[in-house]
């Protein structure tokens, strides 16, 4: 049996099992589904910039997750320092729209500039040496991880959303978190739309698409490819910073999130294909839903396998590599 047919049959079986559980407990099913969608939206914001850099520059930026986590710590610190907002809802000043947006903007810009600085100082001079660049960014991520633990501690913190925003909204008959569903999913949709317009409708996007196909030819036509690289790295780092603040509000700011979200970004790129924005969206949705469903529905009577849910993520990656090694929308370099 061909691998593609086997994968399709497996997918049908999984969907049937999830649908059966959905009929048995409708509200739980919709909550789990919304969890997967909102998690996928956060994955997309993180991975969109990563796949842009990876697709154009062929640089596996292993410090992408560190930029994500650092943005969360910066926003959390600014909330407390400038506005007296505490991670404990029972103490401190309640967060306002201003005390949430200002740290978000500052953290995003700082991380964007830090990303460009990293690209110009450490990566530009060894262009084309993929292994060396990967090792450099790994070293940067290790240094940043150690310094963040030293300066911010190892306790999980939370960026507070504005108190004026509702805690939940009613959708599909269940109460669900307003921030996760409206803000995070809305941000992912807006970012996806803007990136689509930039890549498909602007000269910068045309150069990016041409650079994905043939970087040498783009340089031969007189395009300053280094400026394009810096611009792509800036966008990628800005998205990492924005996602760090969204993730710090939606989940938490804690050590380990850097490596976790870096791994998630790599999985999204493997599923969607290198340099594909649409692939990043589909890969994020697949990863988010698989993670959410497996945490709940890997329960067969008296056999509870939810502790092994992480294995399904890697099974998804292995299956994709077996059927389409370049990803759903990937093309040869």
Note if the pTM is more than 0.85: yes
pLDDT of 132 over the 60 cut: yes
Flag the least confident range among 70-74, 161-165, 213-217: 213-217
pLDDT of 162 over the 80 cut: yes
Query: How does DSSP assign 156-224, residue by residue?
Result: -B-PPPPTTS-SEEEETTEEEEHIIIIIIHHHHHHHHHHHHHHHHHSHHHHHHHHHHH-HHHHHHTT--
Please state the separation of Cα 279 from the chain's center in Å.
13
pLDDT given for residue 1 in this prediction: 45
**Is 332 part of any domain?**
no
pLDDT given for residue 253 in this prediction: 93
**Is 260 part of any domain?**
yes
pLDDT of 89 over the 60 cut: no
Residue whose tokens read 């490819």: 225
Look up residue 155 and give its DSSP letter.
Answer: S
pLDDT of 112 over the 50 cut: yes
Q: How many residues does the chain have?
A: 333
CATH number at residue 186: 1.10.3470
Distance of CA 246 to CAs 42, 300, 318, Å? 8, 35, 30
Mean pLDDT in residue range 60-80? 93
pLDDT given for residue 88 in this prediction: 61
Domain, as residue range, for 256: 3-323
**Is 330 part of any domain?**
no
pLDDT of 61 over the 70 cut: yes
**Is 249 part of any domain?**
yes
pLDDT of 3 over the 60 cut: no
Mean pLDDT in residue range 59-67? 89
pLDDT given for residue 46 in this prediction: 93
pLDDT of 146 over the 80 cut: yes
**Is 17 part of any domain?**
yes
Q: Are 42 and 247 in contact (CB under 8 A)?
A: yes
**Is 52 part of any domain?**
yes
Mean pLDDT of all residues belonging to the chain: 83
pLDDT given for residue 22 in this prediction: 60
**Is 250 part of any domain?**
yes
**Is 158 part of any domain?**
yes
Domains in the chain: how many in total? 1
Percent of the chain with pLDDT over 70: 84
Structure-derived torsion over alpha carbons of residues 144, 56, 327, 16, reported in degrees to the nearest 10: 60
Distance of CA 290 to CAs 163, 233, 296, Å? 32, 29, 10
Distance of CA 106 to CAs 96, 110, 226, 245, Å? 16, 6, 26, 10
pLDDT of 103 over the 90 cut: yes
Burial class (CB in 10 A: 0-12, 13-18, 19+), 310: exposed
């Amino acid at each position: 049996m061909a691998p593609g047919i086997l994968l399709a049959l497996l997918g049908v079986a999984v969907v049937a099992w999830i649908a059966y559980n959905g009929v048995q407990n409708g509200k739980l099913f919709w909550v789990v589904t919304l969890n997967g969608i909102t998690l996928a939206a956060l994955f997309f914001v993180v991975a969109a910039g990563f796949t842009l850099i990876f697709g154009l520059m062929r640089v596996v930026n292993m410090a992408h997750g560190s930029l994500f986590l650092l943005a969360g710590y910066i926003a959390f610190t600014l909330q407390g320092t400038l506005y007296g907002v505490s991670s404990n809802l029972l103490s401190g000043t309640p967060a306002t729209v201003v005390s949430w947006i200002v740290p978000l903007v500052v953290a995003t810009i700082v991380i964007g500039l830090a990303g460009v600085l990293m690209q110009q100082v450490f990566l530009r001079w060894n262009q084309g040496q993929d292994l060396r660049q990967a090792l450099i960014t790994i070293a940067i991520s290790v240094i940043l991880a150690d310094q963040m633990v030293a300066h911010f501690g190892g306790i999980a913190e939370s960026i507070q959303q504005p108190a004026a925003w509702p805690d939940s909204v009613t959708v599909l008959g269940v109460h669900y978190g307003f921030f996760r569903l409206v803000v995070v999913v809305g941000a992912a949709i807006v970012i996806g739309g803007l990136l689509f317009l930039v890549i498909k409708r602007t000269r910068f996007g045309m150069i990016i698409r041409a650079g994905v196909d043939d970087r040498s030819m783009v340089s031969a036509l007189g395009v300053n490819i280094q400026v394009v690289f810096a611009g792509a790295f800036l966008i990628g780092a800005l998205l990492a910073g924005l996602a760090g603040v969204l993730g710090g509000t939606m989940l938490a700011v804690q050590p380990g999130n850097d490596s976790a979200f870096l791994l998630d970004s790599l999985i999204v790129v493997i599923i969607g294909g290198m340099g594909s924005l649409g692939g990043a969206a589909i890969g994020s949705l697949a990863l988010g839903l698989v993670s959410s469903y497996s945490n709940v529905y890997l329960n067969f009577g008296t056999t509870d396998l939810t502790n092994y849910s992480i294995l399904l993520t890697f099974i998804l990656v292995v299956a994709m590599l077996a059927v389409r090694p370049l990803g759903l929308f990937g093309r040869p370099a």
